Amino acid sequence: MPREDTEMKDNIGTRVIALVGPAGAGKTDLAEAMLFASGALQRQGSTGHGTSVGDSSAEARARGGSTELNLMHFDFLGQPFALVDAPGSIGFAADAARAIAIADLAIVVVDPDPARAPLAAPALRMLDDQGIPHLIFVNRIDQAHGSIRELLEALQPLSASPLIARQIPIRTTDASGEKVSGFVDLALERAYQYQPGKPSEAVDIPPDLAEREASERTHLLEQLADHDDSLLEQLLMDETPAAATIFADLARETSENLGVSVLFGSATNGWGIRRLLKALRHEAPGPAATCYRLGVEAPAFYSFKVSHGGNIGRLVLGRILGGAIEEGSELRGADRQPVRVGTLFSVQGDKTVKLASAADGALIAVAKVDGLKSGQWLSRGDLPPPIEIEQPPRNACLAIEPADRKDDVKLSGALARILEEDPSLAIEQDEMSHELRLKGVNDEHLRGTLARIKRRYGVEVAHRTPSIGYRESIRRPVTQRGRHKKQSGGHGQYGVVVIELAPLARGEGFRFGERITGGAVPRQYIPAVEQGVRDAMAKGPMGFPVVDVAVTLTDGSFHSVDSSELAFRTAGRIAMHDALAAAAPYLLEPVQKISLTCPSNATSRATSATAGRRGQMLGMGPREDWAGWDRIDALIPESELDGLEAELRSLSHGLASYEARFDHLAEVSAGQAEKLVRSREAEHA
């Protein structure tokens, strides 16, 4: 593509900016502040939190944070922007991951408190991994106590490229203490005083800051000179570089991921927002750069979310890249089948506006494209490579059913839609317990999902902790006779078997064999005996499936008229039932291996949380490539995992998470087993 072409396109194309960072950092407030500062919103706070094409606002308000991806549009000085406001809490973050992946730039919103810097690690890591250009906005500067320097020192190890401080704070002291009341822009060398409810006022650089300003600016220029030889020469010659040079370098640092600019302000006060918008206007790469990053070479559409929430029906949200697309255009998907793009809409919060065509870079919603799922490319030419999104592990699980039986069909319909909207959810039917299980990232995520089902589809869902996959096995071998005889006039039933039951090593499951001589049990009835044995194993003496046993059929007797498959099956079941009871049965519980990660300041509390759950520590150490984070490996019985996720979340600002998978079955102590069996009996009484 010729350079002029690229530049022209990038001048008009919508810039998609993703707001990412920890829960409660102020992303939604920042989005509103940007809309307000650009004139797209009459009054700050009027969109409410978490308005989206879905109907998340009620949800978000109840929760006090966003639960769904939220899209907004505004123009700033003639440049169209689209905002992707991502929920910060890990339970809901997966919702926006695909939209972030196709953004031109991300703003990582962080808290000024250096102690909270590790909360930004997941966002920074994801952006670095995917090569998404980004900058950092330090929000809540109105409440800042520590120094920006200290914050940058805490953030730097979490970032792959150097952080570039773009501003230094002006502080004033009043009755309530020292406060940030404005900033000096290091690139422009201009000072601004924040004004309540108004744009900041240009002021002289306070004399007591002159020295600090000079040294910080020198540092900024030196950082830029690392990637700009002619700037380096200018600095060596003691020449003052032109502002245009500095801004061009800053833009390149951002778009090529050479450096991460750090700006600060306050979303709720509207401070530093214009400065941020100007930085976006000059420095955010446009759609052409993003096409290059994602390998888009022809007009294409990437779907990042399916939404059933609005009144239009099924909508697919996505971005146009590589050229304009009109309503009704024909594109091709991975299977090369043509897909006709239906009605196009632009999305603003929970409102949609019909479009005849969508320009390169536009963030839009498409109706009537039934086959299209989220995370897929459609293109007029070759398909761009798939975008890899890391799915968070599903650590929470609930057994669910409609509170009212007659809502069965309604519930399956609701689940199908909700699962399509949120790929981090999964549904499973457990074979053993026949439970319908809803799996999600964490408890909060599942609770949010059930609330959504109720509000949107009017289905009340009953839920409980899923049953644990306990098993039974035996300690000693037993020989047992089983006899089934019924003589009730006419045709009788007759079958007698003798079996040997013996324990097997853990994990060997079940083996059945026979040593019948002299036709004591006729050949054709032997499979029926095995079936009877299996019947008895489905529910051992303690009420759970039996594993790791061998059964050998050694003897028996039959009757030429009254014997039948059914009679021998029954005899096999009776023999096995009695054998199990006599073979010193014991209880086994599933043990999971968990791999837990958390910020280091939460490690000791996370360790005791695992130990308190009959956990067995396997290892602990720093998390690879994550400064300030640790990893803990442990074995924990499945029955003890209930509530672990919530406990970890509360002790780590929502950042600790774990992956669990089945490791082995372990014997349950006699005391524990008795408690369990009794509580189960009470439940079933």
Ligand X SMILES: Nc1nc2c(ncn2[C@@H]2O[C@H](COP(=O)(O)OP(=O)(O)OP(=O)(O)O)[C@@H](O)[C@H]2O)c(=O)[nH]1
E strand segments, 515-584: 549-557
28 binds Mg ion (CB under 5 A): yes
Binding string, 31-50, against ligand X, x = CB under 6 A?
A: ------------------x-
Taking the least distance from each CB to ligand X, the nearer of 66 and 597 is: 66
Residue closer to ligand X, measured from CB, 126 or 521: 126
Residues 582-621 binding ligand X (CB under 6 A) are none
Which residues within the stretch 83-102 sit at the binding site for ligand X (CB under 6 A)? 87-89
Q: How far is the CB of 117 from Mg ion (least distance, A)?
A: 20
Q: Alpha-carbon distance 193 to 199, whole Å?
A: 9
Alpha carbon distance 520, 533 (integer Å): 18
Give CA–CA dist 296/344, Å, rounded.
21
- Residue 304: CB minimum distance to Mg ion, A: 17
Contacts to Mg ion from residues 634-663, by CB under 5 A: none
Shortest reach from residue 212's CB to ligand X, in Å: 24
Distances (CA, A) of 360 to 8, 393, 618: 12, 35, 52
Gap between the Cα atoms of 347 and 253, Å rounded: 31
Q: Site for Mg ion (CB under 5 A): which residue of 38, 47, 66, 442?
A: 66
List the x/- string, 255-294, binding to ligand X by CB under 6 A.
-----------xxxx-------------------------
Q: Is 564 in the site for Mg ion (CB under 5 A)?
A: no
Helices (H), 358-510: 408-421, 443-457
Q: Is 27 in the site for ligand X (CB under 6 A)?
A: yes
Which of Mg ion, ligand X, none binds 182 (CB below 5-8 Å, type-dependent)?
A: none
Subset of residues 58 to 77 that bind ligand X, contact rule: CB under 6 A: 65-66
CB of 109 to ligand X, least distance (A): 6
**In sequence order, what E strands does 299-434 have?**
300-307, 315-321, 325-326, 330-332, 338-340, 344-348, 351-355, 357-358, 363-367, 376-379, 396-402, 426-429
For CA atoms 604, 607, 613, 617, the dihedral sign is negative
Phi, psi of 319 (to 5 degrees): -125, 140
Q: How far is the CB of 407 from ligand X (least distance, A)?
A: 31
When asked if residue 28 is in the footprint of ligand X (CB under 6 A), the reply is: yes
* Residues 6 or more apart in contact with residue 87 via CB below 8 angstroms: 23, 50, 65, 66, 67, 68, 69, 93, 95, 96
Helix 443-457 to helix 56-63 angle (10° resolution) is 140
| Residue 139 touching ligand X (CB under 6 A) | yes
Q: What is the total residue count of the chain? A: 685
Distances in Å between the Cα of 556 and the Cα atoms of 498, 503, 529, 564 are: 6, 22, 11, 14
Give the total of residues touching ligand X (CB under 6 A). Answer: 22
Q: Does 25 bind ligand X (CB under 6 A)?
A: yes
Taking the least distance from each CB to Mg ion, the nearer of 49 and 217 is 49
Q: Which is nearer to ligand X, 148 or 366 (CB)?
A: 148
- The residue among 502, 590, 614, 504 whose CA lies nearest residue 554 is 502
Residue whose CB is less far from ligand X, 30 or 372: 30
User: By the criterion CB under 5 A, which residues form the site for Mg ion?
Assistant: 27-28, 66
Q: Under the rule (CB under 6 A), what is the footprint of ligand X?
A: 23-29, 49, 65-66, 87-89, 109, 139-140, 142-143, 266-269
